[in-house]
Amino acid sequence: MKLEELANKHILIAGYGLEGRVTEAFLTRWVPDSSITIVDKKDNSAYLDSQDKYDLVVKSPGIPKRHIHVPYTTATNIFFANTRGTTIGVTGSKGKSTTASLIYAMLKQAGLRVHLVGNIGKPMLAEFIPGDTREDIYVCELSSYQLDDIRYSPHISVFVSLFPEHMDYHGGVDAYFEAKKRIVEFASESDFFIYNRDYQELVRLASCTEAKAVPFVSELPFPDKDIPLLGKHNRDNIRGAVTVAKLFDISTEDIYEAVKHFVPLPHRLQLVGTFSGIRFYDDAISTTPESTMKAIESIPKIGTLFLGGQDRGYDFTKLVDLVETSHISNIVLFPDSGARIESLLQKKHEGAFTIFHTKDMEQAVKFAYAHTEAGYACVLSTASPSYSVWKNFEEKGDLFQKYVKKFGIEGSKT
């Protein structure tokens, strides 16, 4: 929605988290003749009951569109409708934050005027100033929540991976996939679709979009030893970023420098440290079976694995098969999905796994120190969302790191 269309409107901002606060500040500055009211679930569970009293609702991503029954827009749509900059949208079930950050690093290394915004933590309207130009390049991480009702496509759409997630929000896997694929729904022949052809759904999407479909480059222009990221999936993330950088004619030297000095994002296969001979990895971002399987495949000699959390009905069968073939013997299980995971483990070889049920991260880490052999790894990668125990994956990962370091330091003093 164009700024002039927002003028003289009585606007309801629904949801007052970070994006809601930024939206309020943006509209107050750039649409000063509008009237703004704020509502949020934490203040009143019936916060949406009065929506029909307003000319327009600006909905936060966390509110499903089915809950809004009056004309509405989103901060994402306001940004795309008004920017004159070059937009790069990055999505995927996992890997989108790392890929977006890599693209940003490569373009910045080349001296371009680039901004990193979106779901990664900086709302688009916080960085956007009306009157920008094509020289402003916005790398936008886009979640399925933001794409579910998007009305524009980025100039360059990057699709990293696709497997079931957020089904409670979208109402099913098909609706989730359709929301993700909307990233190219409004693309034209002058736009680009950069995709990972390891996923057949993305190959099919590439065959029907109007954008120029370009698969990830097949090879990286530098040796693996210089890559500061673990796992094949991170090689895929880098390949996706390199493909985008090549569209901007970024030199191989600048790409290499950006990757070589890239600092892995927190809670993504992050090595917390080695204590008592045990390597501790924080992969709190992995909240689906598929992403946890990638973690297992990336880390050698895992002795203890932390699994479980909010139960969204995921199929853990392939994950449990991999746990068995990877010879992981110690399993910490958190509620609620931990009970279903245990039943699958016991069907494999009852008694073959040492299992510890808890909802206390401190006790979980104590168990890991007591049962993980020196030379092996302990990995927090729960294959389930965090909300049954923690407020988000960041809190989960922070607590894991806190207790790993606490008991590691205490152990070094004995």
Domain assignment of residue 125, given as a range: 83-260
Of 192, 191, 195, the residue nearest 180 (C-alpha): 195
What is the pTM assigned to this prediction?
0.93
Same domain, 122 and 27: no
Residue 265 inside a domain? The answer is no
Whether the per-residue pLDDT at 158 is higher than 60: the answer is yes
Burial class (CB in 10 A: 0-12, 13-18, 19+), 264: middle
Mean pLDDT value of segment 41-50: 94
Q: Residue 206: enclosing H or E segment and its boundaries?
A: helix 200-208
Model confidence pLDDT, tens digit, residues 74-91: 999 999 999 999 999 999
Check the annotation: does 286 bind a ligand. Answer: no
Asked if 285 contacts 393 with a C-beta cutoff of 8 angstroms, the reply is yes
Measure the CA–CA gap between 280 and 380, rounded to whole angstroms: 8
Residue 301 among known ligand-binding residues:
no
Percentage of the chain with pLDDT > 70? 97
Task: Give the pLDDT score at 413.
Answer: 57
Same domain, 95 and 64: no
Does 92 count as an annotated binding residue?
Answer: yes
Q: Say if residue 414's pLDDT is above 70.
A: no
- Residue 379: pLDDT over 80: yes
Give yes or no: residues 228 and 295 share one domain.
no
Is 97 annotated in a binding site? The answer is yes
Let me know whether 49 and 101 are in one domain: no
**Domain shared by 224 and 110, yes or no:** yes
CATH code for the domain in which residue 180 is found: 3.40.1190.10
Q: Per-residue pLDDT tens for 266-289?
A: 999 999 999 999 999 999 999 999
Give pLDDT, residue 114: 98
In one-letter notation, the amino acid at residue 82 is N
Name the pLDDT band for 411 (thresholds 50, 70, 90). low
Same domain, 221 and 293: no
Q: Residue 366: what pLDDT?
A: 98
Q: What is the pLDDT of residue 174?
A: 87
Q: Which residue has the tokens 């990221």?
A: 229
348 CB neighbour count, 10 Å cutoff:
13
Same domain, 243 and 281: no
Q: Is 98 annotated as a binding residue?
A: yes
Q: Where are the alpha helices (DSSP H) in 42-95?
A: 75-82
**93 known member of a binding site:** yes
* 90 and 224 share one domain: yes
